Amino acid sequence: MTDTAHKGREFLHLARGFMTEGKQKRTVFAPQPILISSLALPANRVISVEVDDNEDVEWMWTSLPEGTKYISGYTIVKKAD
């Protein structure tokens, strides 16, 4: 293994440890859109969010004039006790 490859693998290992050490992550999936028409939804809409065990997600909905609604953003908040 080259020195560069070794350093890259070492960095990846450290990054993974930094992100997960002592905390469990979970994936929260966004609610399904409400489709009223056959219009396509934006490709950049939110699908899911990774949060810590002590966090929750507040979803932001966008409503289109014809009645279609989809998740367009979110806020990560601390879980209520």
Convert the pLDDT of each residue in 26-76 to its tens digit: 999 999 888 876 777 776 788 999 999 999 999 999 998 888 889 999 999
pTM above 0.75, yes or no: no
User: What pLDDT shows up at residue 25?
Assistant: 92
Q: Judge whether 14 lies within some domain.
A: no
User: What pLDDT shows up at residue 22?
Assistant: 58
**Structural domain tally of the chain?**
1
Q: Could you tell me if 47 and 53 are in contact, meaning their C-beta atoms sit under 8 angstroms apart?
A: no
Length of the chain measured in residues? 81
Q: Judge whether 75 lies within some domain.
A: yes
Q: Judge whether 8 lies within some domain.
A: no
Q: Judge whether 5 lies within some domain.
A: no
Is the dihedral angle over the CA atoms 45, 35, 33, 73 positive or is it negative? positive
Q: Judge whether 17 lies within some domain.
A: no
Q: Which domain holds residue 60?
A: 24-81
Q: Judge whether 79 lies within some domain.
A: yes
Q: Judge whether 54 lies within some domain.
A: yes
